[in-house]
Structure formats: C-alpha cells, structure tokens
C-alpha cells in the first residue's frame, strides 16, 4: 500500500472505510466499553463542579506562556478518570481501530473540566474548543516516536497585543511521559532565534536552534501542558527500555471573543452528539494524515461520512505534537 494511503499511526484507510458501519453505531462502542458512558452532553460534568475561581499560580503560568511559549500544570485529572481513559484506548486498539476512536467516550471531554479554571485564566471564560483532536499511543520500542520536530502553526496571528496566545494547544498526559517513552521536547521561544520569523511565516522551521537550548518536559500522568502555535517542539523517540507506552491526547482551545480560527468549534457548555463526535474524529484522522496532503479517491467515503454528520473536511493539513 502506498504511504499516502496509510494514516500516520499506521491504520489503513481502506480498512477504516470498510468498517464505517461499525464506527457510526453507538451500540458497538458501548458494548466495547460498557462502563464508559456515551451521552449527548458529555460536558455536563462542568455544570456539576463549583464555579471556578482563578487558580493559584495562574499569574505565574501566564508569565511562562508569554516568556517561554508554554507551561505545565500540576497533575489535575483524577486517577480514576485516567484509568478509564487508558482502558478505553486499549479496548479501541484491541478492536483494531486507531486510538483516536476512544474519543467517542464522554470521559475524555469530562476530564477537561479539571483544566477549566486554568484554561479560563489563560483564554477567558468563554473559551471554545477547536476539535483538531489527536490521541497518542507511543509504544515501548526503539522505533516508536511522536510527531517530528515542528511548529503547530496552523493559524496566523494568534498572539495578542498583551503577548498572550488566543489559541492554545492542550496536551493531556494519561501516562507518565519520560525521555525513555517519548516525552515532549521544546525550544522555549526566548531561546529560539527563528521565533520572530515564525510569527510572520507559518512555514518557519528550526534550523538555527542550538542543541543546548532544547528542553525536555518529563510529565506526570494527569498533567495538562499548554503551548502556543509557534513554539518549536516534538515528541521524542521511545525505547524498548521504557516501562510503559506514552499515552496522551490533545486538542486546541481558543478565546471565545475573537474570530474563529477554524470552521469547526465546540462550546464546552453545550451538547455534542454521537454522530458529530465520530465525524470529528474522522476529520482529525484525515487532517493529520498523509491523505490531507494529496487528494485520494479512496478517501471519498470518509469525507461523505463526515458531510452526512455536518462536519466539513479540514481546509489544510496540520500538526499536533
């Protein structure tokens, strides 16, 4: 099979198309993980939590974001939620689907409620989700790795006049991430000689970066890491000596009081139906695969499936570390 016909995480397009009838059957996913709910309103957990105040340390996190382009919280997501998310991902992989399809389950959306105070402090109380999702499963072997060095750089002009991003990548660790199992590496923006250029040109690489300015980000499970659109970063190579795979998921969030950066946004206060959820998963698989770089007639059933559920294809390929 040609490389352009295989999704980045090694799942063949034709096999996905042949199984679309299963993909769009909520009963299939409920039978696969009976203890993991699938409802029309996964965000209801937000309503059940006390109204968030400004979290302790928010000013320090904002200062890091302005100066270095990223920050990491203390572990925020409860262990029980982490275990359920990992269980969902393992079940989806065992059933022969990309880990992305674990996002059919409510728990992945509900977990974000624990990051809500931090996200509101950075992006304002009306922030929105930009559902360019990815679920990562980096195996414990020497050829396992995250995405290559890059800048997310999907959207221009996402740094406000106050130096704060209007769009954040939100990366949730579901296992500890270490140098042995592919933790994230970044070049803090104040150490990146090409960062000013990256603000003007989304195609800017990292050819002039000094190796000593690279920073590893070992991360505990439950930690939420956030960074802006233009910081240079990557997921490192794993190792057969790693104790566990590196499992995580990511998406974008943006301020709600600025123009939408993408044609799809989710309000984390409203419903997200099962059909929309599954179509958004397919949209992200398409967006972050080789298929989005060149047209392929084999992708037509996938695009038609997305359209039936009211989700348009992505305008361009993207990266998500």
| Sequence ranges of the domains in the chain | 3-308
Q: What is the pTM of this model?
A: 0.91
Number of neighbours of residue 158 by Cβ within 10 angstroms = 22
Query: Is 237 exposed, middle or buried (CB count within 10 Å of its CB: 0-12, 13-18, 19+)?
Result: middle
d(CA 114, CA 119): 10
DSSP string of 4-33?
GGB-TTS-BHHHHHHTHHHHT-HHHHHHHS
DSSP string of 31-86?
HHSTTS---S-TTHHHHHSPPP-PPTTHHHHHHHHHHHSEEEPSP-S-HHHHHHHH
Beta strands in 200-245 (DSSP E): 215-217, 224-227, 232-235
Residue 240 CB contacts under 8 Å (≥ 6 apart), including other chains: 140, 141, 142
d(CA 38, CA 27): 10
Would you state the pLDDT for residue 47? 65
* Helix, coil or strand: residue 293: coil
DSSP string of 98-147?
-GGGGGGSTHHHHGGGGGHHHHHHHH-TT-EEEEEEEEEEE-SSTT-B-P
Tracing tokens 């050819």 back to the chain, one arrives at 207
Residue 144 CB contacts under 8 Å (≥ 6 apart), including other chains: 138, 181, 182, 237, 238, 245, 246
d(CA 320, CA 283): 14
Residue 292 CB contacts under 8 Å (≥ 6 apart), including other chains: 286, 314, 316, 317, 318
C-beta of residue 140 within 8 angstroms of C-beta of residue 181? yes
- Check residue 165 and report its DSSP letter: B
Would you state the pLDDT for residue 298? 78
Can you give the pLDDT of all 321 residues of the chain as single tens digits? Answer: 333 333 344 456 788 888 999 999 999 999 999 999 999 999 876 666 655 567 779 999 999 999 999 999 999 999 999 999 999 999 999 999 999 999 999 999 999 999 999 999 999 999 999 999 999 999 999 999 988 999 999 999 999 999 999 999 999 999 999 999 999 999 999 999 999 999 999 999 999 999 999 999 999 999 999 999 999 999 999 999 999 999 999 999 999 999 999 999 999 989 999 999 999 999 998 888 755 545 677 788 888 888 998 898 876 555 555
Kindly state the helix (H) or strand (E) to which residue 257 belongs, with its residue range. Answer: none
Q: Class of the 3-308 domain?
A: mainly beta
Kindly state the helix (H) or strand (E) to which residue 182 belongs, with its residue range. Answer: none
Would you state the pLDDT for residue 319? 53
């Amino acid at each position: 099979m040609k490389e352009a016909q295989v999704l980045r995480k090694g799942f063949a397009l034709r096999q996905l198309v042949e199984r679309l009838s299963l993909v769009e059957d909520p009963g299939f996913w409920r039978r696969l993980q009976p203890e993991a709910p699938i409802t029309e309103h996964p965000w209801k957990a937000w309503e059940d939590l006390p109204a968030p105040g400004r979290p302790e340390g928010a000013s320090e996190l904002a200062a890091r974001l302005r100066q270095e382009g990223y920050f990491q919280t203390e572990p925020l997501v409860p262990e029980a939620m982490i275990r359920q998310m990992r269980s969902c991902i393992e079940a989806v992989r065992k059933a022969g689907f990309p880990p992305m399809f674990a996002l059919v389950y409510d728990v992945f959306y509900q977990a974000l409620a624990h990051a809500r105070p931090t996200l509101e402090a950075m992006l304002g109380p009306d922030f929105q989700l930009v559902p360019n999702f990815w679920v990562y499963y980096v195996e414990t072997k020497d050829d396992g790795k995250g995405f290559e060095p890059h800048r997310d750089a999907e959207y221009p002009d996402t740094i406000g006049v106050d130096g704060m991003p209007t769009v954040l990548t939100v990366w949730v660790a579901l296992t500890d991430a270490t140098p042995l199992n592919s933790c994230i590496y970044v070049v803090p923006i104040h150490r990146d000689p090409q960062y000013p250029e990256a603000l003007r040109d989304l195609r800017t690489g990292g050819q002039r970066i000094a190796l000593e300015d690279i920073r590893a980000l070992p991360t505990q499970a439950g930690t939420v890491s956030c960074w802006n659109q233009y910081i240079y970063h990557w997921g490192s190579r794993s190792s057969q000596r790693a104790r566990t795979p590196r499992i995580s998921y990511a998406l974008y969030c943006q301020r709600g009081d600025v123009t939408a950066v993408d044609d799809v946004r989710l309000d984390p206060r409203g419903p997200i139906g099962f059909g929309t959820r599954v179509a958004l998963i397919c949209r992200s698989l398409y967006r972050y695969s080789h298929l989005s770089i060149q047209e392929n007639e084999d992708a037509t059933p996938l695009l038609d499936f997305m359209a039936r559920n009211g989700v348009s294809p992505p305008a361009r390929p993207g990266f998500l570390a």
